Amino acid sequence: MAKEPEVDIAVKEGRRERKRRQTRERIESAALKLFLERGFDATTIEDITEAADVSKRSFFDYFPSKEEVVAAWQDSFAGELIDAVLAQPRDAAIADVIEAAVNSALRAAIADPQRLALAALIRNTPALCARDQLKYAKLERKLADALHARSQGGDDERFRLSMLAAAVVTMLRIGGERWTSGRQDSSLDQFARGMFDELWAALAGLGEQVRQRTPPA
Q: What is the mean pLDDT of residues 33-61?
A: 94
The ranges assigned to domains in the chain are 16-64, 70-178
Output the pLDDT for position 136.
Answer: 87
Least confident of 4-13, 146-155, 206-215: 4-13
Task: Say what percent of the chain tops pLDDT 70.
Answer: 91
The C-alpha atoms of residue 215 and residue 134 are separated, in whole angstroms, by 40
Would you say 142 and 77 are in contact if contact means Cβ atoms under 8 Å apart? no
Q: Outline where 42-92 has alpha helix (H).
A: 45-52, 56-62, 66-87
Q: What is the mean pLDDT of residues 90-106?
A: 92
Output the pLDDT for position 64.
Answer: 93
Output the pLDDT for position 184.
Answer: 63
The C-alpha atoms of residue 165 and residue 61 are separated, in whole angstroms, by 33
**Closest C-alpha to 39, from 101, 102, 122:** 122
CATH, domain range 16-64: 1.10.10.60
Output the pLDDT for position 13.
Answer: 54
CATH, domain range 70-178: 1.10.357.10
Position 124 confidence tier, pLDDT thresholds 50, 70, 90 = confident
